[in-house]
A and B are shown apart, each in its own frame.
Chain A
Amino acid sequence: MTRTRGINRMSHDEFQVHRAKILTPSFWVLLTLTLIGFALIAVRFIWGIGAVSNMNDGYPWGIWITYDVATGTAIACGGYAVAILVYIRNKMHYHPLIRSAVLTSLFGYGLAGLSVMVDVGRPWNAYNFFIPSQWQINSAMFEVALCVMAYTTVLAIEFLPAVLSRLQQTNWNSARAFLDKHHGRFGLDTEIILAKFEKLRQWALWVQPKLDKVLIFIIVLGITLPTMHQSSLGSLMLIASTKLHPLWHTGFLPLLFLINCLFIGYSIAILESIISSYAFKRPFESEQLTGLASITPYLTTIWLSVMVGDLIWRGQLGNALSLDFYSGFFLLEFGLVASGSIILLFRRNRQSMRWLFVTAVLIVLGGALYRFNVYLIGFNPGQGWRYFPSLAELMITVGIVAFEILAYKVLVKLFPVLPRLHGHEEPTAVKA
């Protein structure tokens, strides 16, 4: 099929379905973790939040907000970071990376929203969010909620071309086989259903060019929304001036969170690409990854400079080097990001898959630890309150993360998400 306009006009050349077995052993492991997590979510909704969580009046935000929302959305910023690169800086040769980045972002954000619903004390009041007259438009939390919801929708639309092109190409073999096998049972009529599938295919053919026309606006939204709410995630903690340790409580929190999500975004795009190339036994996207890795040191340098400058300005540098509990975590976070960046400054390291992997891990860990420090570790409500997530609470987070990976693994085998391999035959086809 040829399309003459639209951003994804090259998509057939750029992306391909990864043809491999879906029901692998890791699939079953991830599925088990997912089911445990979701069973515990059910427990939370039946017996209440105290049944699964260690959260208390001193720490009303626990691991769910700290990891799933504050850190998870940063880790899900791969889509945002790559979109800036491709559409704002017009570096189209990174385009092959975008679909997998958007897909992980979609899960990251969608499940952050789910985590909030698990976390809020009175979820039955959540419907108020959809009633504009009930909005508290001065609230940073409201902005975060609105942006997360809007961005999830935007990401879903950004991912839609992958689904549509798959719908157009499929010949419903598996469905046909399934229906033939169960012919006559459940009152299913193969022909009628196949006709409906055909209609779906026609619809996909009809809607795709229209979607292509508006997609650029959706993409612009997709770049605006994270810029807004990633800084708001920092603003959220501005109010906790007496509870958040002075090492982290600063008026620059919004800026630091914004830069932080960008370098985490690029690093996670590198990690994700290396890991999926490795796990799916595909060649590495060496050229693009080297390019991405040359961006992160700039961002981390700005970030670290703002951080240190701010500490000096507020007279907290001595505090940062005092080697107490808080200073230890600060130095760890600082050291992880700084060491990752320093290694990346060398051209040779940027071209080595091993060092790209190691540095991306260091930077993601350091950046994520920063968010943990701001939301949990550096947070002390005083009066003897303490908090450590309970096992059930952790398992819900683990379940959500497992679901993310599981769905990614399945979807890349169903839809054209991964970059097309050039110059040689596709990896051994098993079954879509």
Chain B
Amino acid sequence: MSMTGQLFGGSVSRRDFIKTCVAATAVMGLPFGLASKVAAAAQAPDRPPVIWLHFQECTGCSETLLRANHPTPATLLLDMISLDYHETLMAGSGHQAEKSLHDSMQANHGKYILIVEGAIPTKEHGIYCKVGGKTALESLRSAAAGAAAIISIGTCASFGGIQAAAPNPTGAVGVRDIIKDKPIINIPGCPPSPYNLLSTVLYYLTFKKLPELDQMGRPKFAYGRRIHEHCERRPHFDAGRFAKAYGHTTHAEGYCLYKLGCKGPATYANCSVQRFNDVGVWPVSVGHPCIGCTEPDIMFNMTIADKVQIHEPTPFDSYAPVDLREKGTGASPLTTGLLGLAAGAALGAGAMMARKLPDGEQSAEQTEEESHGRKE
């Protein structure tokens, strides 16, 4: 592939295409054999229409998709969908752009996928973000009305992100706080891995349904585990070897970054497995603690140096069940028999005693009479 091809994602070789499909299949946690099904779906002629809206954001999510060293995911994604409206990518502008948005929404009503990038300001009727004279709030509502599903890409669209950080002057919120009647998939991250978007779209195209989501609306295949669970520095954590300061020997040795404020133990994402830029790097691999960008309560709510509470300090000590034989001694007939007898006797004695106890209201004299009576 030529340099130009690489930079602008002009063409994708069959080899790169299959490699990316296999990677996306792996990200989804699907068996290897399904890669061909995924590849077939990616090549299907009926390309789903996609409308991509930008609100309060930095376009970092679009950038991370487009500027991957190997442009395959972006090319693949843009090839298999019909991107009808994307403010920073489309050639048209002004009324022409608005028209294409309008046309697509009408022509594909109820069928298109809406991808939202950026938070939506709500204070003072949302005047803090306007495109083409319409507030973000209005644009989102009208676009969402005809959408088959909504993907919130990035932490801003998912949870509000940096705009929503205190004191949140514009009243910024995520898509799920406004749109309640549509399936919403959150792909948080700052920025999220492009593979998570690619895999989500591919999953939808392959199986014609949404992937399984967690309580925060994130696909479980990508956000099902804490990054701590698959971190390459985890052995240092388990052994109690921690980097003490940036640049310190312990930092240079590659020790665990927890004490520098790594949010890995509380952050659900696949960064430690999927990594970034197609060359296997991610923040922790280059010595920076995880900042918890996929979690609404961590990034912009805790400082980078703050340590998260660890609820399960010991390693997960269960292994794949290789040996399924019954182990340990179960109940023996003698024990259960005696136990049953004892329990029965106790129950019987209790019942007998309950029978003998006086029912009804007791005056002091009655009680005494009865107690005297029993003495005789």
Contact = CB atoms under 8 A, between A and B. Distances in A.
Given A241-B312, A358-B354, A394-B339, A353 B332 contact: no
A414 B324 CA distance: 57
Nearest to A352: B359
B358 interface: yes
B312 A351 contact: no
A384 interface: yes
A342 to B, nearest CB: 17
A283 B326 contact: no
Interface in B289-327: 311-312, 314, 316, 318-319, 321, 323-327
B264 to A, nearest CB: 18
Contacts of A383: 318-319, 321, 323-324, 327
A353 B359 contact: yes
A385 interface: yes
Given A424-B368, A428-B375, A386 B312 contact: no
B354 A351 contact: no
B371 A283 contact: yes
Contact of B367 (A286, A354, A381): A286
Nearest to B373: A281
A391 interface: yes
Contacts of A274: 357
Interface residues of A, number: 43
Nearest to A387: B328
A385 B327 contact: yes
Interface string A239-251: 1011000000000
A284 interface: yes
A390 B339 CA distance: 11
Contacts of A355: 359
A59 B357 CA distance: 41
B326 A384 contact: yes
A368 to B, nearest CB: 13
Contacts of B374: 281
Interface residues of A, dominant DSSP: loop
Contacts, number: 111
A283 B327 contact: no
Given A278-B353, A281-B374, A59 B364 contact: no
A284 B362 contact: yes
Interface in B333-376: 334-336, 338-339, 350, 353-362, 364, 367-368, 370-371, 374-375
A228 to B, nearest CB: 20
A427 interface: yes
A58 interface: yes
Interface residues of B, number: 40
Nearest to A393: B335
A222 to B, nearest CB: 30
Interface in A212-249: 238-239, 241-242
A381 B323 CA distance: 13
B375 A59 contact: no
Interface string A335-374: 0000000000000100111110110010000000000000
Contacts of A381: 318
A394 B334 CA distance: 12
A347 B370 CA distance: 22
Contacts of B321: 382-384
A242 B316 contact: yes
A281 B357 CA distance: 12
B362 A353 contact: yes
Nearest to B331: A388
A239 B314 contact: yes
Contacts of A387: 328-330
B224 to A, nearest CB: 15
B368 A283 contact: yes
Contacts of B326: 384, 386
B364 A283 contact: yes
Contacts of B355: 354
A56 interface: yes
A353 B370 CA distance: 12
Contact of A357 (B330, B332, B357, B370): B357
A383 B325 CA distance: 8
A121 interface: no
Interface string B142-168: 000000000000000000000000000
A390 B327 contact: no
A389 interface: yes
B297 to A, nearest CB: 15
A354 B359 contact: yes
A243 B335 CA distance: 26
B359 A388 contact: no
A282 interface: yes
A385 B326 CA distance: 6
A428 B374 CA distance: 13
Contacts of A59: 328
Contacts of B324: 383-384
B327 A384 contact: yes
A342 B172 CA distance: 49
A109 to B, nearest CB: 23
Interface string A45-79: 00000000010111100000000000000000000
Given A281-B371, A348-B361, A384 B325 contact: yes
A388 B353 contact: no
A423 B326 CA distance: 64
Contacts of A424: 368
Interface of B: 311-312, 314, 316, 318-319, 321, 323-332, 334-336, 338-339, 350, 353-362, 364, 367-368, 370-371, 374-375
Interface of A: 54, 56-59, 238-239, 241-242, 274-275, 277-278, 281-284, 286, 348, 351-355, 357-358, 361, 381-391, 394, 423-424, 427-428
Given A283-B370, A358-B354, 19 more contacts: A59-B328, A274-B357, A277-B371, A283-B367, A286-B364, A348-B360, A351-B361, A354-B357, A382-B321, A383-B319, A383-B323, A383-B324, A385-B327, A387-B328, A387-B329, A387-B330, A391-B332, A391-B334, A391-B338
20 contacts: A238-B311, A241-B311, A281-B375, A283-B364, A283-B371, A286-B362, A286-B364, A351-B362, A352-B358, A352-B359, A352-B360, A361-B350, A386-B326, A386-B327, A388-B332, A389-B335, A390-B335, A391-B334, A423-B368, A424-B368
